Amino acid sequence: METLAEYPYSASTRELPRPVEAALESRSAAAAEAAMAGLLISLLDQIAAQAFALLDVFLTDNSAGLALSREAQELIAEGEMLQHRATPDGPSEE
For the entire predicted model, the pTM comes to: 0.60
Return the DSSP state at 94: -
Half-sphere exposure of 12 (CA within 13 A, CB side): 0
Q: For residues 19 and 44, which has the higher predicted lDDT (pLDDT)? A: 19
Q: What is the pLDDT of residue 93?
A: 56
Q: What is the pLDDT of residue 72?
A: 87
What's the distance, Cα to Cα, between the start and end of the chain in Å?
A: 41
Q: What is the pLDDT of residues 22-81, one digit of tens each?
A: 999 999 999 999 999 999 988 888 888 788 888 888 988 998 888 889 998 888 888 777
CA 53 to chain centre: 13
**Measured between alpha carbons, how far is 77 from 37 in angstroms, rounded to an integer?**
26
Q: Where are the domains of the chain?
A: 4-85
Q: For residues 6 and 50, which has the higher predicted lDDT (pLDDT)? A: 6
Query: Is 20 within 8 Å of 33 (Cβ atoms)?
Result: no
